[in-house]
Amino acid sequence: MSEIVVSMKGMEKSFSSNKVLFGVDLTLHKASIHALLGENGAGKSTLMNILGGVLPSDAGQIEIDGKPTEISDTFAAKAQGIGFIHQELTLVNDLSIFENLFIGVEEKRGPFLDKKSMYEKSKEILDRMGIDLDPMTMVGDLNTSYKQVVEIARTLMHNAKIIIMDEPTASLTEVEIENVFKIMRSLRDQGVSLVFISHKLNEVMEICDRYTVLRNGHMVASGEVDESVSVNVLSTHMVGREISYDGLYHKREVGEVILEGKQLEREKEYRGASFHVKKGEIVGFTGLLGDGRSELFESVVGVNYPYQGEVFVRGKAVKMSSRSKAQNMGISYVPRNRKENGIVKDLSISNNMSLSVINTLCKWGILRKEKETAYTDKYIRELKMRVHNVRNLITSLSGGNQQKAVLAKALGSNPDIVVMDNPTQGVDVGAKLEIYNLVMQLASTGVSVVVLSSEAPEILMLCDRVYVMFEGGIRAELERSELSEQKIMFLATGGTQEQLNKT
Smallest gap from Cβ 212 to another protein, in A, equals: 23
Q: Whose Cβ is closer to another protein: residue 176's or residue 416's?
A: 416
Q: Whose Cβ is closer to another protein: residue 389's or residue 481's?
A: 389
Residues that bind another protein (CB under 8 A): 17-18, 41, 303, 322-324, 327, 333, 335, 340-348, 351, 354-356, 358-359, 362, 365-367, 369, 377, 380-381, 384, 386-389, 391-393, 396-398, 409
Q: Whose Cβ is closer to another protein: residue 396's or residue 499's?
A: 396
Alpha helix (H) residue ranges in 158-277: 174-189, 201-207, 231-239
Give the containing element (helix H, strand E) for 326: helix 323-328
Q: Whose Cβ is closer to another protein: residue 59's or residue 362's?
A: 362
* Cα–Cα dist 382/175, whole Å: 38
* Beta-sheet strands, E only, within 281-391: 282-286, 308-313, 316-318, 331-334, 362-363, 366-367
Phi, psi angle pair for 415, to nearest 5°: -75, 160
- Taking CA atoms, 172 is separated from 175, 317, 340, 365, in Å, by 8, 37, 16, 44
Q: Whose Cβ is closer to another protein: residue 128's or residue 345's?
A: 345
3-state helix, strand, coil in the chain (%, to 5): 35, 25, 35
Q: Whose Cβ is closer to another protein: residue 129's or residue 303's?
A: 303
491, HSE (Cβ side, Cα atoms, 13 Å): 27
45 within 8 A of 166, measured Cβ to Cβ: yes
Q: Whose Cβ is closer to another protein: residue 15's or residue 112's?
A: 15
Smallest gap from Cβ 391 to another protein, in A, equals: 5
* Cα–Cα dist 272/283, whole Å: 18
Reduced 3-state DSSP string for 412-472: CCCCCEEEEECCCCCCCHHHHHHHHHHHHHHHHCCCEEEEECCCHHHHHHHCCEEEEEECC
Q: Whose Cβ is closer to another protein: residue 19's or residue 123's?
A: 19
| Residue 401 identity | N
CA 28 to chain centre: 26
Q: In 3D, which of 279, 280, 273 has the Cα closest to residue 299?
A: 273
